[in-house]
Amino acid sequence: MAVGSVDVTYRGIFQKSLASVITKALVKAARHEHKIGGTVQRYSDSPERNGIPAKQFAVIADEETSLRVEMAKYEPDTVVATCVLDDTLVKGLESWAWYGVQAVNASLSPGGVLLVVSERPIEELADWMPRADFDWRLAVLSRKTSFAGLWVYNDDGTDMEVLGALSRVTGGLVALESLVATAAAGSDAARRAELLESGFSSVQVAPISAGVGREWPYETPALPAWDEMGEGVAIRGVPKGERNMLFQKFTTRTARPVVDFDRCVRCQICYTVCPDEAFDPTPSGHYAVDYGHCCGCGICANACPVEGCIEMVDELAFSDNSDLHRIYEADPEGYGNLRQAALATAGGPVRHYGIF
C-alpha cells in the first residue's frame, strides 16, 4: 500500500462528531503500524447545514509524499472504503454547494467497499445501489442509525463497531489489533475492545459486479475548479412564486411528510409553518408537497391539528420525488393504498418532534 483513504459520509452537524472520531481513530491506529496519516473534511455546502450530506476522510500512507499529494486534492482518489453513517443517504448526496446529486459510491476505487450502517437486510440495500463500471463490494453493519454526533457526543458504541467493521472490509488498512491498542489508551478499554471485535465479526459483505445496480437518475455533477466556484454564501435569487432549482434540499431527509388528503381539513397550517415553503396550493384546497425542496424537518407534521393527516415516513420507502397529490387527484383509492404500503414498508410513521 502506498496510500489508501476512507471516506466517512455523514449527515452534517447531526453526525459530525461521530465522523470525526472515526477518521481520527483510524489515523491514530495507523501510527501503531509505523504508517502516517491525516484527516480532511469537506462540506457539501458552506456553511455546513443541518442534515446535509458531508464527508470526512482518513488518508493513510506508507510515506509522507504520497500522503501530502492525496490530502491536497478536492477529494482523495484512493478511496478503498466509503462508510455511510445513515442508510437513507444511499438515495444520493448533495454535491458541493448544490452542483447536483452524487451517487453514494461515486468516490470508490475499483474493488473498494461501501459500508452502510443499517438495520435493513443487505439484499434490500443492494437494490438501492447505483451501478458502477467496476466490481466492488457492499457491506452492512447491522445497527440503528446513530445521531451521536449532535452537539454533545453520545458515546453509544457506534464509532468502535464501525472501526472494527472497517478494519475487516478493507483487509486491514488498519489492523484490528492496532485499533484495540489505541482504544486501550482511553477509559472503558475493555468495552471498546469488545465493540471493535463485534463490528469486525458481525459485518456482512456482498460482492457487486460491474454494471449491476440501479440506473442513476441524476446527471453526474461536474465539480467546478477552485476558481470557478460561486460565492460561498450566495444563493441566487428567483422570481416571486418560483423555487431555486440550484438550492434543493431533499438530500437532507431521513423521513418525508406524507399527507392523508382525505383527512385534510384545508386549514393551511402546513403551508404557513413550512420553513422552506415546500407546500403548493392546489385547486382542490389541499397543499401538495414539493419533495425536491422539502428538507424533512417534520415541522408540518408536528403542527398539523388533525391526527394522522401528516405523518413522517422513512425516506427509503419511496423511490423518487414524484408529486403525490397528483396521484391522489387521479386515483384517491389508489393513493390511499400507496400511502398504506409505504407506511407498512417503513414499519409505521417515524416518531418526531418537528425538529428532524
CATH of the domain at 191: 3.40.920.10
The CA–CA distances, whole Å, from 120 to 142, 190, 235 equal: 7, 29, 37
Residues 6 or more apart in contact with residue 276 via CB below 8 angstroms: 249, 293, 294, 295, 297
H or E element in which residue 255 lies = strand 255-259
178 part of a folded domain: yes
Q: Domain end: 154, 179, 208, which one?
A: 208
Determine the Cα–Cα distance for residues 249 and 256; give it in Å rounded to an integer: 12
The CA–CA distances, whole Å, from 218 to 87, 98, 292 equal: 19, 13, 13
149/65: higher pLDDT: 65
Residues 6 or more apart in contact with residue 281 via CB below 8 angstroms: 271, 287
- Say if residue 187 is in the same domain as residue 263: no
- Say if residue 142 is in the same domain as residue 254: no
Q: pLDDT digits over 324-342, tens only? A: 999 999 999 999 999 999 9
- Say if residue 272 is in the same domain as residue 324: yes
Question: Amino acid identity, residue 95?
Answer: S
pLDDT exceeds 70 at position 20: yes
- Say if residue 128 is in the same domain as residue 257: no
- Say if residue 100 is in the same domain as residue 168: yes
237 part of a folded domain: no
239 part of a folded domain: no
**What integer pLDDT is reported at residue 124 of this predicted model?**
93
- Say if residue 165 is in the same domain as residue 65: yes
- Say if residue 196 is in the same domain as residue 258: no
Could you tell me the pTM of the whole model? Answer: 0.89
183 part of a folded domain: yes
- Say if residue 254 is in the same domain as residue 187: no
Q: pLDDT digits over 239-292, tens only? A: 877 888 777 889 989 999 999 999 999 999 999 999 889 999 999 999 999 999
Residues 6 or more apart in contact with residue 132 via CB below 8 angstroms: 105, 108, 208, 210, 211, 213
pLDDT exceeds 70 at position 314: yes
217 part of a folded domain: no
**What integer pLDDT is reported at residue 46 of this predicted model?**
52
**In terms of residue numbers, what domain contains 258?**
250-346
Q: pLDDT digits over 142-196, tens only? A: 999 998 766 667 789 999 999 999 999 999 899 999 999 999 877 789 999 999 9
CATH of the domain at 303: 3.30.70.20
- CA 51 centroid distance within chain: 8
97 part of a folded domain: yes
What angle do the packed helices 176-183 and 16-31 form, to 10 degrees?
A: 110
- Say if residue 82 is in the same domain as residue 184: yes
Q: How many domains does the chain have?
A: 2
- Say if residue 295 is in the same domain as residue 166: no
- Say if residue 194 is in the same domain as residue 257: no
- Scan for cell 416518531, then name that residue: 351
103 part of a folded domain: yes
Q: Domain end: 193, 208, 223, which one?
A: 208
Determine the Cα–Cα distance for residues 52 and 69; give it in Å rounded to an integer: 28
227 part of a folded domain: no
pLDDT exceeds 90 at position 308: yes
